[in-house]
Structure 1
Amino acid sequence: MEFFNPHLYDLANAELWVAIGLIAFFVIVAVAGVPKLVGGALDAKAAKIQAELDEAARLRAEAEALLAQIRQEKAEAEAQAAEMLKAAEADARRLEEESKVKLEESLARRQQLAERRIAQAEAQASAEVKAAAADLAARAAEQILAARLAGQKSDPMLDAAIAQLGSRLN
């Protein structure tokens, strides 16, 4: 051990002066409060880091709460969209049924109108045929009667039939 060597304590020894300077430096540093300053700076840095960690934890908690709220709003929006879709489908079915009923009613009315028109046309055609037949029969009867009258002057049965012919045809 060099510490017990008497040559170490000689004032001409450079190592002794280095050791004294080092000890003096440490004493000055300790008296000036550098360890407290360094400790305070380290404590301040640790406090700053802790504050940042706390802020990060708070921001994370807020983000998680916001995420949960967004998920809940998404679920509510999806439920509302599903309800709106069901309501729209129900409205579409209801409108389809109403349209079918209206279409059936319209078709029934048109069919009835067509049947009435056909019946009127049939009645009109029948009346026209009857009128044409009556006119044709009247002309034929007139021609027959004219031919008979040309051969004979008067026939009482023929006169009675002619008189009744007009009332029977109308």
Structure 2
Amino acid sequence: MRKLFAIALAAVVANPAFAASGPFFSLRNTDFVVLLGFLIFLAVLFYFKVPGMLGGLLDKRAAGIQSDLDEARALREEAQTLLASYERKQREVQEQADRIVAHAKQEAELAAEQAKADMQSTIARRLAAAESQIASAEASAVREVRDTAASVAIVAARDVIADQMTAADQGKLIDDAIATVGAKLH
């Protein structure tokens, strides 16, 4: 331990300031001149209150930074409020759009059902009209066939009667017809 202390003391004593020739407090000693200039520099700084000004500038800077932070915090809160407002509005708009889409789908379904019902009623009316036309055409065809059959039957009966009837039978038929007409008119 003594050896270690001796080595440390020798290192301190071997310092260049102790190795310089002459007294330490001399203007020829550069270490002393540097120390003296440094002390005068510090005295001038304290005389002109530079540390106070630096402290004031630092305080002013800190206050400016604090106000910037407060402003940024306020802007952030305002931005969060706006974001929440826009998100709420977006949800409301989305809900409204969903309601509109649902209503449109419902109206489309109702319109489709109405169109289907209208189509069915139109088909039923057209079918009834077609059936009516078919029945009318059928009745007309049946009437025409009857009329034609009656005409053919009359012509055939006339021919048959004309071939088979004698003049006496014709006179008797005429007399019977006149008597029947006379009886019906009175």
Interval containing the TM-score (normalised by the shorter chain): 0.7 to 0.9
One-letter identity of the residue aligned with 1:124: S
Q: Which amino acid in the other structure matches residue 38 of structure 2? A: L
1:37 matched residue in structure 2: 53
Q: Deviations over 1:98-156 (max 9, x none)?
A: 1122112111211211121111111111110111001100110111122224xx32315
Correspondence for 1:145: 161
How high is the TM-score relative to the length of structure 2? 0.74
Residues 113 and 157 (structure 1), Cα distance of their counterparts in 2 relative to 1, 3 Å cut: farther
Aligned residues: 158
Q: CA RMSD in A?
A: 2.6
Aligned match of 1:127 in 130, 133, 143?
A: 143
Cα offset for 1:10?
3.6
The equivalent of 1:159 in structure 2 is 173
Query: How has the CA–CA distance of structure 1 residues 138 and 60 changed in structure 2, closer, same or farther, with 3 Å as cutoff?
Result: same
How is 1:1-170 mapped onto 2 (pairs within 5 angstroms)? 7-149=23-165, 152-155=166-169, 159=173
Structure 2: gaps spanning 5 or more residues? 1-11, 178-186
AA matched with 2:107 = D
- Sequence identity, in percent? 34
Alpha-carbon spacing, 1:144–1:65, altered in 2? closer, same or farther (3 Å): same
The structure, 1 or 2, with the larger RCO (C-alpha pairs under 8 Å, 6+ apart) is 1
For the residue of structure 1 that corresponds to 2:23, the secondary structure is helix
Structure with larger Rg? 2
TM-score (norm 1): 0.81
